[in-house]
Every structure is written in C-alpha cells, then in structure tokens.
Amino acid sequence: MKFKPEMLQVYLVIGTANVDYRVDRLLAVVAAAVRLGVTAVQFREKDQSRLTFAEQVQLGRAVHRLTAAQQVPLFVDDNFKLAQAVGAEGLHLGQTDPWPALKQKQQANLMVGLSVHDFTELNQSRSLLPYIDYLGVGPVFATKTKSDAKAPIGTSGLMDMVQQTDLPLVAIGGISERNVWKLKTIPIAGVAVISAITTSSKLATTIRTLKLQGGFHDQ
C-alpha cells in the first residue's frame, strides 16, 4: 500500500490497555471505527500490555483482517517483528525506539511514521526524515491517556512544527470532538485519537465531527 496523506485524517491508536484489557472490546471498536470512517489504525500493544508476543500476533492479525476489509492501513507501534508477523502496512516509531534498521524497514514495504514533540526532537531526527512518511506531533492538548506524556505544545506549537517540515503531520494528544475545531486552520493532515473513539457512545457522530470540524473533508 502506498502512503497518502489522506490516510491520516482520523487515525485511531488502540491497544488492550485502552479498552480495559478486553480483546473482544478492542476488536469491536476497530470493526466499527473502520466501517464508520476512520482512515488509519495503529495497533499499540506496549507499555502495560499483558499479552505474550504470540498473543499479540494473534490479536494483530485479527485487527488486520478488519482493517484490510475496509482498505484502511494498519500501523504497528514500535515493533518491526510484530508488524511483519501481522502483515501490517506500516510501522510507527518514537524517539526512544531502535533506529539502526530503519532503511531496511522501509524497504520491507512498510510505511513509517515518527513521533516528535518539539524542535529539538525534530532536529535530532533530520537524518532519518528521508525514510519517514509522516510525523505524529504532540501532545497538542493535555492528555490522561498516556501517563508519560510531555507538556502540551498547544495550537501555536503545532503551527510552528508545521512550518519546520514538508512532511505530513498528524496531531495527537487530548484531541476530542470538543476541541478539534481549534485545529481547523492549521495545515495538518489529520488527528490521531485514542479515548475520543474508545469511549464514544455515538461513534459515527464522533468520527464525522473529528473529520469535518478538523477540516479534513476537503483533503
């Protein structure tokens, strides 16, 4: 699958820790989300995961069957071996994730995303950017989903980051139906969310609001 910026419009990040460690709940959320308009899914099974690698592969393959059925790309967070095992289309890396084989990872036909928080991290990553398809930038707003999240950069910080790179940016961190409109005038490719979708009681409305109020319907 070839990378396109519109894949980032509404990007769901999800792991078992986000759904009370219920595999059935995770699969139900992913199935509904891709059917209702989510444009990318990231399988993020790390930090507090209770699954063995074999169990992660089994679950990742089940997630991939759901995303592939809707032609939605699946990214795996920080685990090249897992991404290959589940047949994912992409890999998402953080600043502390291993980099030595990044070129080989791209040659494995994986789309690659990178998380950056500020100018320092962006500058430290300059040599890697030729191998990167998009940047995940944030947290934009305060978030409780990730316990080790850095200080929010706000809309002004997000705009500053947009001006520092030609790569497509997806904003992440504390983004919800209530505040996504604040990003509408910033030329980003989309928004990445966790709780906005995993806790939604009206998923179709949530996804539509994130897409329309974020200004991504014209991209």
Q: What percent of the chain has pLDDT over 90?
A: 77
Whole-number Å distance between alpha carbons of 142 and 144:
7
Q: What confidence score (pLDDT) does residue 219 get?
A: 43
Which of 13-17, 48-52, 155-159, 175-179 has the least mean pLDDT? 48-52
Residue-wise pLDDT tens digits, 99-146: 655 666 665 789 999 999 988 999 998 888 988 999 999 999 987 766
Q: What is the mean pLDDT of residues 184-206?
A: 97
C-alpha to C-alpha distance for 126 and 103, rounded to whole angstroms: 14
| Residue 172 labeled ligand binder | no
Mean pLDDT taken over the chain: 91
Segment 83-104 shows an average pLDDT of 81
According to DSSP, residue 8 is labeled: G
53 annotated as a binding-site residue: no
pLDDT in tens, 162-191: 999 999 999 999 999 999 999 999 999 999
Q: What percent of the chain has pLDDT over 70?
A: 90
- Interatomic CA distance for residues 33 and 211, integer angstroms: 13
- 67 a known binding residue? no
**Is 43 annotated as ligand-binding?**
yes
Reference 97, options 118, 74, 120, 81; nearest CA is 81
Q: What is the pLDDT of residue 114?
A: 94
Q: What is the largest CA-CA distance in the chain?
A: 44
Q: Where do we find the tokens 């894949």? A: 7
Can you list the domains of the chain with their CATH numbers? 5-213 (3.20.20.70)
The verdict on whether residue 78 carries a ligand-binding annotation is yes
Mean pLDDT of 187-203: 97
Lookup: tokens for 162: 């947009």
* 42 annotated to a ligand binding site: yes
Is there a binding annotation on residue 89? no
177 is in an annotated binding site: no
Please check if 146 is assigned to a binding site: yes
pLDDT higher than 60, residue 202: yes
Q: What is the pLDDT of residue 179?
A: 97
- What's the pLDDT at 99? 62
Query: In this predicted structure, what is the pLDDT of residue 127?
Result: 85
46 is known to lie in a ligand binding site: yes
Q: What is the pLDDT of residue 103?
A: 62
Report residue 182 as tokens: 């604040």
| Annotated binding-site residue? 103 | no
195 is in an annotated binding site: yes
Does 144 belong to an annotated binding site? yes
What are 45's two structure tokens?
């099974």
- pTM, two decimals, is 0.94
**Nearest-5° Cα angle at 125, 139 to 47:** 50
What residues contact 173, with CB distance under 8 A and at least 6 apart?
Answer: 138, 139, 140, 141, 142, 143, 146, 149, 152
Read off the pLDDT band of 97 (50, 70, 90).
Answer: low
Strands 190-193 vs 134-137: parallel, antiparallel or unpaired: unpaired
